[in-house]
Amino acid sequence: MAGISSKALNGIQENKYKYNGKEEQRKEFSDGSGLDWLDYGARMYDGQIGRWNKVDNKAELYQNLTPYAYAGNQPTNAIDPDGNVIIFINGFTINAAEQGTERYWRSYKEVAFGQYWDYKGNIHDQNIEVIDQAFDLAASKILDDNNRRYVDGGNAFSILTRFQRGEKSGYKQAESLIESLHRTGGVIDETVKIITHSMGGVFGDGYVKGLKKYLKEHPDLKRQVKITLVADFDPYQAGAIKNDGKTKKQQYLHYGGITGWYGTADEMETGEFEYIEDEKKSSHSIMSFVDETGKLKEGTYIWNENNQEWELQKDKKSKGK
């Protein structure tokens, strides 16, 4: 098995992604030793003792368990994700490999890996593809969230068609999405965040409506499922995107980007939102927004027992430069 394992790389690349696919932090110290913790995004896990080294961010939802327990003390039939989920909705792309996948949100480059011999004995250079930039990974780091889903939102040029397809998709995927959310003691303890780009903005607007429609039809789930952020990056035809003020929403623009051609900030949406613009940039590419991921911020919600809804605690409306 050594020939197809990480040993075959002769130390060029060490596999740190093993248990649950989480990165193991090791050899941190000068003598080569380390803590050997696993990076789950929101907190670190110590597999040597089977415990987290930080209190669970959703600890208040299951007070009967210690906030340091892994997988509710049931590791044989459960995993413990980081307590969140991000849904990335891409814009238009003709590359089928990018539609609804992480490749839309990343750029790649080839690096030399070594050489190989063909059956004639000729030597050839061999390259491997590695990530050059990754918007989705940067957003995950800021939001302490490594649980990601990808949806294709750039599938129509018509505003109405994209919105309707988004609504249909959000409603159709709601059941499987909710079923996949982490539970402890039967209580869902994950939040939902949605990030869109370009044409994905209008699609994402419909997607949120579809999710909320499903939750309205299932009142037993409304208290457990929170959409804590919708962030639109340089949305195309942004004037069609609305907000009822019940969901934390951010919109990011570059001067001269897509929105600069088709609308102004005042036309972008109604309701509460945070508008962030960088006048020093003009690119529409999602890769040009990597630095702006540092401004992503979830909303704060309080459950209103009277109307049976999560109420967004209003932030002061702001415009960032």
3-state class (DSSP) for residue 173: helix
Q: What's the DSSP call for residue 5?
A: S
Higher-pLDDT residue of 200, 53: 200
The mean pLDDT of 113-123, rounded to a whole number, is 77
E strands, 141-225, in order: 148-152, 183-184, 187-188, 191-197
- Checking if the pLDDT of 310 tops 80, the result is yes
Number of Cβ atoms within 10 Å of the Cβ of 188: 18
What per-residue string of b and e applies to 280-290 under the rule 16 or more CB within 10 Å gives b?
ebeebbbebbb
- Checking if the pLDDT of 263 tops 50, the result is no
Distance separating alpha carbons of residues 1 and 119, to the nearest angstrom: 23
- Checking if the pLDDT of 266 tops 60, the result is no
The mean pLDDT of 158-169, rounded to a whole number, is 94
pLDDT at 20: 78
pLDDT at 57: 65
- Checking if the pLDDT of 167 tops 50, the result is yes
- Checking if the pLDDT of 114 tops 80, the result is no
The mean pLDDT of 20-37, rounded to a whole number, is 80
The mean pLDDT of 67-95, rounded to a whole number, is 76
The mean pLDDT of 254-258, rounded to a whole number, is 62
- Checking if the pLDDT of 140 tops 80, the result is yes
The mean pLDDT of 150-175, rounded to a whole number, is 93
Residue 319: pLDDT band by 50, 70, 90 thresholds?
very low
- Please state the φ and ψ torsions of residue 154, each to the nearest 5 degrees: -105, 50
Q: What is the mean pLDDT of the chain?
A: 81
Domains of the chain: 2-73 (no CATH), 84-100+142-283+292-320 (3.40.50)
Task: Give the CA radius of gyration of the chain.
Answer: 22
pLDDT at 4: 65
Lowest mean pLDDT among 22-26, 293-297, 317-321: 317-321
Percent of the chain with pLDDT over 70: 81
The mean pLDDT of 290-314, rounded to a whole number, is 88
pLDDT at 198: 92
